[in-house]
Structure 1
Amino acid sequence: MNQDVTIRQLEVFVVIAREGNLTRAAELLGMTQSAASMSLKQFENLLGYPVFSRVGRGLVLNDLGRQLLPKSQQILGQLEAMVSEVYDQEHVPTGHVVIGCSTTIGNYLLPSYLKEFLDEHDGITVSVHVGNTNEIARMVRRGDVDLGLIEGELVVHDLYEEDWMRDHLVVIVSPNHRLAGKKRVSQAMLSRESWVMREMGSGTRSTVSQAAARQGLQMGQVVEIGHTEAIKRAVETGLGLSCLSELAVKRELEDGRLAALPMDMGVDRWFRMICVDGASVTPLVGYVMQWMRDLAMELGEKRV
């Protein structure tokens, strides 16, 4: 290899892998499409092999690309951490940031880590608003919050979105339910069961409904309850099954108030960061977003 791979080439490769689209990747990186295309071509020429397969107008990682992606992310992550460490020593921003969180994140994930962050940053104050995914997206669009943390997919992709952490959902029942304690539970065994679900507009509701439709699962009666804690209490009493984030039911599973069914609904999802424009956030919001990325890496859930 007569030339070295550049940081910019790695950035182009990683962002295209995430977005699946050259034009979108170029926009996020602040490059022209031709410059991004040239950077990718140079990267592939240096390797001697392509890293993407062209599918329609999109780009999909091939075997070599999938092999190189985690290594490339690791290199960029280490560089990001090094630069942040030097910058943070003298350039920690101060001020107030408003974060909008969907329910699972706001109730079961963010609070403990946010306390640690605020203890280390006396000059930063934070307000947190909790709502469902659609509500948080609307707040971001209106400018009511600086940064959104949501579950699952946006209905309209008009905001900057960044995969943040993986979330695992589990099917839960009352310990007295006929399916509790079984070593194996099939999709057919869930047919026509009653379910207790979040309201429409909730990220969890959307994720579970889409998974059920994909797998042909016929749900019976669906009872809508707009709060996760109330859903857990309803399931405990035997009102029906539910599917919630493992984060939300960890304590109840440990103390036996709920039981998890041994099955995979295929409903793992991403928690995502959203904002109006990822390229023009304030230094303070950018600092908080970088802390979020570092937290995800620390917890072993860095985006892929």
Structure 2
Amino acid sequence: MPALSRFIRYFMAVGRLGSIRRAADELSVSASAIDRQILNAEARLGVQLFERLPTGLRLTAAGEVMMAAGGRWQKQLVDTLSQIEDLRGLKRGHVDVAVIDALAKGYMPAALHAIQRSHPGITIGVHVLGNEQVRRAIAANDVDFGILFDPQSYQDLTVRAFVDVVLGIVAPPGHPLAGKASVRFSECDGQSVILPAAPLAVHQQVAVLEATSGVTLHRRVTSDNIQMIASLIQEGDSVGILTSLDVSTEVRAGTLAFARIEDKVLRPMTLALCTATARTPSYAAAMVLREIEAGFTRFAYSPPDA
């Protein structure tokens, strides 16, 4: 295993950097040692892993396959070492999590902080990605689990927990729409609106509402960042369209108001905690999963009179 481990480290570094010299500098080994490992592997495999170009090295088709396999091998090695430490009772490990932008505040950071306090031997990497990117990261085993919208059509994911969140009008306190529990989409007609842009999942729902209602919104600002949209609404007199999840922290604090959009073409969006179907979580990942799953209902929409 040590020889294979060394080759994978060297190969992955060269594949990522496109240069033996840069890989040698990063790994603090000689360039000749890296070159020898790659040449020996190419000789044994009978194929070239890299094209030698004047500007550096580029992966061949075989190299791309090896690069993907190397990534999986490295992740599996981390999981294996974590399981061995479990057997020794060390309760250590690293967990990678992918979440959508809306979860970068509120309950999710608080839950991860609590986990780190109670399990200091576990480190956590949090990746904030677009909805489709979260799905891909889970399916490709780049992360241990993820949280995203509407995953039910994907066979490569297993849903561990889910809640419904709804679309609504977000307004600053004092705005005429701020005191309402629910509104019709048509009430946005004539309003100055701050809207989500692609790749945010809400963007498509707004497009459906405009197409079916015949209402064309007056777009004052568009943004692909939820925190930016919420901040712009707080700072001005415009309204926005987001999910109940996106502004739950601000609504609880009283800095923004949320009114659910009632429209027959809308259905609640499903927020789901997912793992890859083909992968068994490590001890560390399973522990973090249990903690997040236990509090997952906190993401659900609660009407004002609930």
TM bracket, shorter-chain basis: 0.5 to 0.7
Establish whether residue 115 from structure 1 lines up as the match of residue 93 from structure 2.
no
Map of 2:81 onto structure 1:
none
Match of 2:215 among 201, 205, 218: 218
Task: Write the distance in 2 (CA, Å) between the matches of 1:190 and 1:156.
Answer: 32
The 5-angstrom pairing of residues 276-291 of structure 1 reads 276-277=276-277, 280-291=280-291
Map of 1:245 onto structure 2:
243
RMSD, aligned CA: 3.6
Task: Write the distance in 2 (CA, Å) between the matches of 1:96 and 1:280.
Answer: 15
> What SS does the aligned partner of 1:115 have?
helix
TM-score normalised per structure 2 = 0.56
Map of 1:205 onto structure 2:
203
TM-score normalised per structure 1 = 0.56
Counterparts in 2 of 1:219 and 1:282: CA distance versus 1, 3 Å: farther
Q: After TM superposition, give the deviation of residue 159 of structure 1 in Å.
A: 2.6
Map of 1:144 onto structure 2:
142
Structure 1 residues 99-139: Cα deviation after superposition (integer angstroms, max 9, x where no partner) = 01101123233111111122121221111111221222233
Q: Contact 1:196–1:239 at 8 Å: present in 2 too?
A: no
Task: Write the distance in 1 (CA, Å) between the matches of 2:91 and 2:234.
Answer: 46
Task: Write the distance in 2 (CA, Å) between the matches of 1:300 and 1:243.
Answer: 18
Match of 1:191 among 189, 192, 216: 189
Task: Write the distance in 2 (CA, Å) between the matches of 1:155 and 1:92.
Answer: 36
Residue identity matched to 1:133: N
Identity among equivalent positions (%) equals 19
Counterparts in 2 of 1:226 and 1:127: CA distance versus 1, 3 Å: same
Counterparts in 2 of 1:234 and 1:96: CA distance versus 1, 3 Å: same
Q: Contact 1:153–1:203 at 8 Å: present in 2 too?
A: no
Map of 2:101 onto structure 1:
103
Map of 2:154 onto structure 1:
157
The 5-angstrom pairing of residues 218-237 of structure 1 reads 218-222=215-219, 223-237=221-235
Structure 1 residues 67-91: Cα deviation after superposition (integer angstroms, max 9, x where no partner) = xxxxxxxxxxxxxxxxxxxxx9x97
Q: Contact 2:144–2:285 at 8 Å: present in 1 too?
A: yes
The 5-angstrom pairing of residues 1-304 of structure 1 reads 93-150=91-148, 152-154=149-151, 157-162=154-159, 163-175=161-173, 177-181=175-179, 185-191=183-189, 193-210=191-208, 212=209, 216=213, 218-222=215-219, 223-238=221-236, 240-253=238-251, 257-261=255-259, 263-264=261-262, 266=266, 268-277=268-277, 280-296=280-296, 299=298
Q: Contact 1:191–1:217 at 8 Å: present in 2 too?
A: no
Q: After TM superposition, give the deviation of residue 267 of structure 1 in Å.
A: 5.2
Counterparts in 2 of 1:207 and 1:187: CA distance versus 1, 3 Å: closer
Q: Note the residue ranges of structure 2 that are not aligned, 5 or more in a row.
A: 1-85, 301-306
Residue identity matched to 2:122: I
Counterparts in 2 of 1:120 and 1:217: CA distance versus 1, 3 Å: farther
Task: Write the distance in 1 (CA, Å) between the matches of 2:289 and 2:182.
Answer: 41
Task: Write the distance in 2 (CA, Å) between the matches of 1:259 and 1:197.
Answer: 16
Map of 1:58 onto structure 2:
none
> What SS does the aligned partner of 1:290 have?
helix
Structure 1 residues 43-96: Cα deviation after superposition (integer angstroms, max 9, x where no partner) = xxxxxxxxxxxxxxxxxxxxxxxxxxxxxxxxxxxxxxxxxxxxx9x9785300
Whose Rg is larger?
2
Map of 2:10 onto structure 1:
none
Q: Note the residue ranges of structure 1 that are not aligned, 5 or more in a row.
A: 1-87
Q: After TM superposition, give the deviation of residue 194 of structure 1 in Å.
A: 4.2
Task: Write the distance in 2 (CA, Å) between the matches of 1:255 and 1:115.
Answer: 21
Q: Contact 2:193–2:239 at 8 Å: present in 1 too?
A: yes
Count of residue pairs brought into register by the alignment: 211
Q: After TM superposition, give the deviation of residue 157 of structure 1 in Å.
A: 1.9
